[in-house]
A and B are shown apart, each in its own frame.
Chain A
Amino acid sequence: METKRPHNLAEQISAYLDGELSEAERAEVQERLESDPDARRLMAELRQVCHLVGSLPREHAPPEIMELVTAQIERHELLKDGPQAGYGVPRRRPRWGRIVASAAVIAMAASAGYLTFVSFRNPAATRTEERFGPVADAHRATPPEAPAERTGPKAAVKHKGPGYRDAEEPPAARPSPAGRSPQGPSQAVRVFEPPVAARMDEHVPKAPMTTAPAVEIVRAGRSGRVESEAGRRLPEVLAAKADGLAEGPNVQEAVTAVPPAAMADTPTERRTADVAPEQPVAAGSEEPADRLEIELAFGDVASRARAGREIVQLLNSLAGSVVARSDLPYGQAAKRLTPGAPARELVASQPERTSREPECEPGRDFAGERIVAHVAAASLPGVIARIERAAQRARTVHATAGRRVVTDWEQVRILADGYGRYATPPLPGDSPACTSLGRAAAGLPESQTEAAVATRTGGWRAKPLPSARSTVEAEAARREREDHRARAVTGMPLEGELGAKPLGELPKNTRTEVPLPMSQPCLSVAQADPDGSDAKTGKRKGGVTEWRFDRAAAGRPASGPTGTGRVPDRSPEPEITPAEDASLRLRVVLVVSPAPDGHPASAPLSGQRDRRLPATRPGP
């Protein structure tokens, strides 16, 4: 007992300091303290330890915690009833899942067919007999309370087997559409016979339907037509969905607007209707298999990975409509980017591994700077808007996390092939990389490509200022972060970004320049016309482009210095001297550009980028 005493005493003193002893224990410890100087010294030291630990400065949660949690909750709520999101490789649906899905599709088809059939048997449906003649006669010949009809879709599926027909269905009860069977009609069998659907297509006029819908199924077909079932008026339905898609507030809406492809083959009776040409859904549906390429070229590795994770998660949440894969292994493009450093130094920096890299192994997580996905055309606008928001959120979060990151040269480049309605034909002299504004134009040295200079062959070029940051720049960065944070909170894009207006409002066959945020000093980058004619703020004549720094666009007083100059085409080191208080932060947010068949932009990667990044492992 005596040997345990020192240990017990220290433990009791520790608890005594915390006030966690009973009355008897406390009295015992106090008595010991009065008589034992070692015990008193021990208590003093333990008290000091407690004080030292307790005096550590309290860390306050970063302000973006709330935004992060809210965003995660939003995503959780969004995906709660939908497909589960995951990283990296899209999960293969288990076999039983496919079986169940197939059964569900069959059951849905049976239900739709049955309900359609019932709707045609409804006396309220006027002129049905005139339209379908013998079919309507067959309806009349079979009373509504016939057993075959009462069994509904379930029985209809059962009746599909030829054995059933031979055993239970008299041959005379079979349908009698032309060219099918000489026997008489039978409701249950007749409903699911393909020739009936064919006849429906032939005879049903394309006028808007007024029949009350028994079941609402709207789908975008690969033919570019939108099909409706059960007589729903299409224009209203599509307009509502198109509005939702254009705003892009809810991925789930975009998903529901694009039912699984399996539905396109359901053997149900259908009616087709042309979609008004101004419907974005119809326009996007012209090319149903859209290749969506997202290139992340901002910040450092961690911020790109964060954005990539968000985007891949978003894409994976659209399971069935999207197949996402990444092409570049994470970490190979790692660069240590230093704010204010010359672009050339950025490239010279060695890749640096961080503790976060193992979280992003290829095949398990987002694995690169480039994501290729195939998105159903109808959901493309909503998907793009969400991608931009996800990338923006990731940038914002990272920029305010107290880490050293570069946000000066941000860019998210999205190539949406086949997005024909808003397609822009490539201009002469454009390299593949230049089919969108921005990154890595042909002819620029790699040092400038790293800086993500918005450029175009023969057009405008800029480079970051090599000097150290000034307080003005730091203040501008702070304002920019606040803007981004405000956007992350409200979900509203800032003025000038593409997301601020529906894609449908973009001018056709023109490039779209996205101005910088109002708080950001900017360089007005004008695109010279390929034929050398006057452009908005620049002229290109004889291979030389004149430029000027647009102070008005930058929100600067008109009395300040205004830069002008002449830049030879393809000059490797263009000299652009902005006003002294302007940091050349070119920020191209989003450009949807065309990729016509055969155009080099359809290639996975341009050579320029391949040189900069090491060889890649193919994505899963």
Chain B
Amino acid sequence: MTSAAAAIAIEDAVLVEQTRQGDVSAFARLVSKYQDRVFNTCCRLCGHAEDARDLTQEAFLQAFKAIDTFGQRSGFYTWLFRIAVNLSISYRRRNRREIRLSLHDAEDGEYAGGQAAGLLRHPRGGPSTENPSGPMQERETHEAVMAALESLEDEFRAVVVLRDIEGFDYRQIAEILGVPPGTVKSRLHRARMALREKLAPVIGAA
């Protein structure tokens, strides 16, 4: 563990202890500290921002409720991610057969309305005049990667997200998922091989 990681772990431990003693603001600091990472992970695991928001909220709430049972054998964030990942996987399994109909229009996902939102984003000269092909290509690549991720089984997608997006090492991933490190290694390999196959056009184009 690096010194920075150790410092983070110590800070988390202090905040956890303060939370146990009834200081809700300490837990709020933990929420503020990890909400983006947890939300991003949930978002990549469940594939829907709305659901990810609910899952993130639920993860923090469960963490708060169970804060007394947290033994500090692992880092708080590892424990928190374990909750979030389990929630996300459970949620996805529960809702696997549902047909999702988005309330968004394909061309308009902003709350404030497409035209108005666009005007607000570009208040002085309309839309950006930069070359539109670059961002469009990038977006297509991201969509392809997201689709490939979506096609993976839950346990394989989880290891990929935790490793390649969140940067956890194998030991941490093993703690989060509750599997041996060897399983993490194997799953990661199989997941990457599957992604390599699905993303072959993208990789070839690159």
Binding site for B on A (CB under 8 A): 10-11, 14-15, 18, 20, 45-46, 48-50, 52-62, 65-66, 68-70, 72-74, 76-77, 300, 302, 336, 339-340, 352-355, 358, 399-405, 468-471, 473-475, 477-478
Can you list 11 A-B pairs with a CB-CB distance of less than 8 A? A45-B196, A46-B196, A52-B195, A55-B142, A66-B28, A73-B27, A354-B103, A355-B98, A355-B99, A404-B109, A478-B120
A404 CB contacts on chain B under 8 angstroms: 103-105, 108-111, 113
The stretch from B9-17, B72-80, B181-189 touching chain A is: B181-189
Asked whether, in the complex, the Cβ of A61 is within 8 Å of the Cβ of B203, the reply is no
Instruction: Say yes or no: B57 contacts A72, CB within 8 Å.
Output: yes
Of the listed residues A401, A403, A477, the one surrounded by the most CB atoms of chain B closer than 10 A to its CB is A403
Are A11 and B165 CB-contacts (below 8 A) given A18-B170, A355-B98? no
B202 touches A52 (CB 8 A): yes
Select which of B95, B98, B199 is within 8 A of A52 by beta carbon: B199
Q: Say yes or no: is B116 at the interface (Cβ < 8 Å to chain A).
A: yes
Residue of B nearest to A8 (CB): B189
Chain B residues touching A, majority SS: helix
Name the A residues within 8 Å of B56 (CB-CB): 61, 65
Contacts of A73 in B (CB 8 A): 24, 27, 61, 64
List B residues at the A interface (Cβ < 8 Å). Answer: 24, 27-28, 31-32, 35-36, 38-40, 43-44, 49-50, 52-53, 56-57, 60-61, 64-65, 95, 98-101, 103-105, 108-113, 115-117, 119-120, 141-142, 145-146, 149, 160-161, 163-165, 169-170, 185-186, 188-189, 192-193, 195-196, 199, 202-203, 206
Contact residues in A for B195 (Cβ distance below 8 Å): 49, 52-53
Chain B: minimal CB distance from A51 (Å): 8
In the assembled complex, which residues on chain A have CB atoms less than 8 Å from the CB atom of B40?
58-61
How long is the Cα–Cα vector from A302 to B103 in the complex, in angstroms?
10
How far is B115's CA from A46's CA once the two chains are assembled, in angstroms?
Answer: 41
Contact A76 B116 (CB under 8 A): no
Complex alpha-carbon distance, A430 and B53, angstroms: 44
Nearest 8 CB-CB pairs, A to B?
A61-B39, A474-B116, A11-B189, A61-B35, A53-B164, A14-B189, A59-B43, A474-B112
In the complex the two chains form, is A66's CB within 8 Å of B35's CB?
A: yes
With beta carbons under 8 angstroms apart, the residue of B35, B65, B103, B141 that contacts A65 is: B35
Residue pairs across A and B with CB atoms within 8 Å: the count is 174
Q: Given A48-B203, A399-B111 in contact, is the A56-B57 Cβ separation under 8 Å?
A: no
When distances are taken between beta carbons in the complex, the residues of chain B under 8 Å from A59 are: 36, 39-40, 43-44, 49, 52
Q: Are B53 and A65 closer than 8 Å at their CB atoms?
A: yes
Instruction: Name the prevailing secondary structure of the A interface residues.
Output: helix
Give the complex CA separation of A473 and B112 in angstroms. 9
Instruction: Given A49-B192, A65-B31, decide whether A54 and B164 contact each other with a Cβ distance below 8 A.
Output: yes
Known: A52-B202, A53-B160, A474-B120. A76 touches B111 (CB 8 A): no
Q: How far is the CA of A602 from the CA of B196 in the complex (A)?
A: 66
Do A20 and B169 touch (CB < 8 A)? yes
Chain B proximity of A260: nearest CB distance (Å) = 27
Question: Considering the chains assembled together, what is the distance between the CA atoms of A267 and B113 in angstroms?
Answer: 64
Which residues of the partner chain B approach A72 to less than 8 Å between Cβ atoms? 57, 61
Closest to A474 in B: B116
- Given the known A-B contacts A72-B57, A399-B111, are A471 and B35 also in contact in the complex, defined by CB atoms under 8 Å? no
| Complex CA distance for A18 and B165, rounded to whole angstroms | 12
A60 touches B39 (CB 8 A): yes
Contact present for B119 and A471 (CB under 8 Å): yes
Residues of chain A within 8 A (CB-CB) of B113 are 339-340, 404, 468-469, 474
A46 to B142, Cβ gap below 8 A?
no
B170 touching A355 by the CB < 8 A rule?
Answer: no
Query: Is B44 a contact of A56 with CB atoms below 8 Å?
Result: yes
The interface residues of chain A lying within 8 Å CB-to-CB of B28 are 66, 69-70
* Cα-based distance from A72 to B57 in the complex (angstroms): 9
With CB as the reference atom, state the residue of chain A lying closest to B32. A66
Most A C-beta atoms less than 10 A away, residue of B31, B44, B141, B160: B31
Whether the Cβ atoms of A403 and B111 lie closer than 8 Å is: yes
Q: Is A15 within 8 A of B111, CB to CB?
A: no
Q: Which residues on the B side are within 8 Å of A49 (C-beta)?
A: 192, 195-196, 199, 203
Closest to A60 in B: B36
Q: A15-B185, A56-B142, A474-B119 are in contact. Are A402 and B165 (CB under 8 A)?
A: no
A69 in contact with B103 given A52-B199, A401-B111 (CB within 8 Å): no
Query: Is A69 within 8 A of B24, CB to CB?
Result: no
A69 x B61 contact (CB < 8 A)? yes
User: Which residues of A lie under 8 Å from residue B111 when comparing CB positions?
Assistant: 399-405
Contact A69 B57 (CB under 8 A): yes
Residues of B within 8 A of A70 (CB): 24, 28, 31
A470–B38 alpha-carbon span in the complex (Å): 36
Taking the closest CB of chain B, its distance from the CB of A65, in whole angstroms, is: 5
